[in-house]
Amino acid sequence: MKITVCGSVKFADKLVEIHRKLENLGHEPKMHADMFRIADGTAKELIEGISLNHAEIKRKHNFIKLWHGLIVSSDAVLICNFDKKGIANYVGGNTLMEIGFAHVNNKKVFLLNPIPTEVSYSDEIEAMTDMVISGDLSKIK
C-alpha cells in the first residue's frame, strides 16, 4: 500500500524510522525528502529556519502543497501522533489539515496512537480516522 507518513517535523527521526519499518512490511511509504535530511541533521538551513520562522519556511519551500500532493498520490496516510506540548498523542494544525486532505480525497486515515483528548478538535479527528493502530504497523491493510 502507498502510505504517506505524516507528523510533526519535531519527530523527523521517528518518522524516518517508521518509514523504514513500513518498507520492511512491504508498503510503499512516502515522505518529503527533506524529512530525512532533518532527521540526520544535514538540513541545517531548514532546521535553523524552522526554529526562527516555521511559517515562512513552509511558504518558501511550498511544504503544505507538497504534502498534499504526496497524500493525493497515496492510498492512505499514517498520522504519527506523539506526545507534544504536554498533550498525549498530539495532532497539530498542519497534521489536522493532512488528515483532512486524506479524508476528502477518500484515502484511508490511520492514527499511530489514540486520538488526543486534550484538543478542541478531537471530534473532527475521530470523524475522519479509519483506524487507530495503537503502534502496531502490521494492522495497516
Total tally of structural domains belonging to the chain: 1
Q: Tell me the residue length of the chain.
A: 141
Query: What ranges in 75-140 are assigned the alpha helix state H?
Result: 93-104, 122-128
Q: Is 111 helix (H, G, I), strand (E, B) or coil?
A: strand
Instruction: Please report, as a single letter, which amino acid is at residue 30.
Output: K
Q: Is 109 helix (H, G, I), strand (E, B) or coil?
A: strand
In a domain, 101, yes or no: yes
Q: Is residue 71 part of a domain?
A: yes
> By percentage, how much of the chain surpasses pLDDT 70?
100
Question: Taking the model in full, what pTM does it have?
Answer: 0.93
24 assigned to some structural domain? yes
Q: Which CATH number characterizes residue 135's domain?
A: 3.40.50.10490
Domain region containing 109: 2-32+62-139
Is residue 125 over pLDDT 80?
yes
Give percent above pLDDT 90 in the chain.
83
